Amino acid sequence: MNTTDRYARAQDGFDRIVAAIAPERWDDPSACTEWSARDVLGHVVWGQDLVLHVATGRPFASQAGAPGAPNPGQLIGADPLGTWRAARAAADAVLTPEALTHVISTRAFGEISLEGFLTVLTTDFLAHTWDIGHPAGLDVRLDPDLVSGCFSWSRQFELRAPGGIGPEITPAPGADEQTRFLAYLGRDASALVT
């Protein structure tokens, strides 16, 4: 499975959770501190717009949905699922082999190719799938192959920063890989849904 295949599978998992969230739950708190589920979705939609701009070589100056931004939910209209799917379709349509060689400047990883950035986003998709699904009361089972790969990848970097990944949480003894992965990303997957 190559980078774009893994990325598409992570998007598919995210899409299933977005489609399952009841309309009245979008303004509920997410697992991301200070963000609602709508804000998390706004951040993800912003990321798709960033991918589209990098792939097409157009400048991208918006910080409306950047990590730690206030109120990224403003990017989501009355149809959260439709907004997400439109953003995904627009970005995916321009992910050509040539576009994947374009370079993006990132806070955490410096200058990397768009293909390398898709690896970052694959991990981001897994985390945010849980961030919006778990608080909404959904049973979020992330793709185990993706979890394994993203867990190994994420341990190679220092990802913790204000507005980014929080402190690592110690999972319970015997926790499964998904719980350990999420704990590494600062998420308590053992917490009960309220």
Residue 57 has pLDDT above 70, yes or no: yes
The amino acid present at 166, given as its one-letter code, is: G
Note the pTM of the prediction, 2 decimals: 0.92
Closest CA relative to residue 125, chosen from 7, 1, 22, 33: 7
What band does 194 get if pLDDT is binned at 50, 70 and 90? very low
At residue 89, the 3 state secondary structure works out as helix
What number of residues does the chain have? 194
Q: Which two tokens stand for residue 17?
A: 């959770």
Burial class of 135 by CB neighbour count within 10 A (0 to 12, 13 to 18, 19+): buried
